[in-house]
Amino acid sequence: MADRVGIVGVYQTKYESRKIFDSYPELVFEVSSKVLEETGLAIEDMDQIVTNSQDFWDGRTISNRTVSEACGSVLRAESKVAMDGSFAVFYAAMRILSGCYDSCLLVSHCKMSEGSPHLINNAMFDPLYQRILGFDELATCAMQAKRYMYKYGITEEQCAQVAVKNLQNGKKNPYPHRAMDVTVGQVMSSGMLADPIKALDAYPITDGACAMILAIEEKARKWSPKPVWITGIASRLDSFYLGDRDLAEVASLELAAKKAYNMAGVTNPRQEIDLVELSDFYSYQELLWLEGMGFCQRGKAGEMIEKGITALNGELPVNPSGGILSGNPVTVAGAVRVAEAALQLMGQAGQHQVEGAKRGLAQGHCGPCGQGQCVIILERGV
């Protein structure tokens, strides 16, 4: 069994609202070939490939079958993860830790522009009782936002401040496509999608891909002068039916974070973690997830954003990359959180670099209202 897993390199496409001239194989080939080229490795150095895509978004069953040549998995060990990209990282790391594999090329892709978000997201609900109600991700997350705000006193303005911060952070990152300077007033008046979520509180339709290379410690040290170690990693799944849980509570996230902290030896996340890359498909989620991961008491995340604690130059930078609000596609989003945290710890984050960062946290989720949660603790090479 391997001791620990290192991230050797990452590569992302430029994220765009519509990559009309790039097919799925072209996106996958771009990130696969570039991450190998930048790390000085060849596909023969990888003894497994993990692809990450969703049949619904690709519009076909077995969506990985169209990208096998592009990622070099023909006649090689290849597995597909159809959940958020953070779970693909989890899966790849577990396969390496099992001792069966020494390395992995992980590739995640999605073209949201070619699907119908409402129809696709409606399909994740119960086919007999819930789909006919018209549920989709936006509608149910609006219900969760309402419940969270009512129970813990979070305001719409505090959620809007999250959008202001992340969209401004995104201007320093060359990859997102919706980075901009906005005010709380502009977010509040950006058009209601589903009360209380406004247009700038919600993630944009985005196309793109991300790849990374993971390896056992021996190879990670050989292949990179600055490997980033996965020192804590855990996932948990909550009840599927929304009526079976209080949407203001985040039991699966709390348990995943607790396990990841224990693995990494983290006892006080607010003091011991230097930056957070979390999945903010909607602005309220940044506040809810921060509370669930123990960075503050329940109901206090709104005060953190008001005091600038989560700003790029704050005590705990959250989504210095600009997050999903600035433009990352579903599925790929969780892998991007890990990639961006790794770039920070490698000292390669460019204009949105958090100086002196030694330990970061990446979080992803899937299912209705954050049903499944994955928390990953990353540390600079030592």
Write down the pLDDT at residue 206: 98
- What is the band of 3 on the pLDDT scale with cuts at 50, 70, 90? confident
Helix (H, G, I), strand (E, B) or coil at 230: strand
Contact 326, 78 (CB under 8 A): no
DSSP state at residue 205: P
Return the percentage of the chain with pLDDT > 90, whole number: 97
| Strands 359-366 vs 275-277: parallel, antiparallel or unpaired | parallel
**CA–CA gap between residue 117 and residue 57 (Å, rounded):** 9
**Is 0.95 surpassed by the pTM of this model?**
yes
Write down the pLDDT at residue 2: 56
| Per-chain mean pLDDT for the chain | 96
Mean pLDDT of 193-216: 98
Write down the pLDDT at residue 65: 87
Write down the pLDDT at residue 153: 98
**CA–CA gap between residue 30 and residue 131 (Å, rounded):** 37
- What is the band of 381 on the pLDDT scale with cuts at 50, 70, 90? confident
Res 114 pLDDT > 60 = yes
Helix 137-152 and helix 156-170: axis angle, to 10°?
120
Res 1 pLDDT > 90 = no
pLDDT tens, position by position, 344-365 = 999 999 999 999 999 999 999 9
- Strand (E) positions, 177-222? 192-194, 197-198, 207-216
Q: Phi and psi dihedrals of 286, rounded to 5? A: -60, -40
pLDDT tens, position by position, 58-105 = 998 888 889 999 999 999 999 999 999 999 999 999 999 999 999 999
From 339, 318, 260, select the one nearest 89 (Cα to Cα).
Answer: 339
pLDDT tens, position by position, 178-189 = 999 999 999 999
Contact 309, 91 (CB under 8 A): no
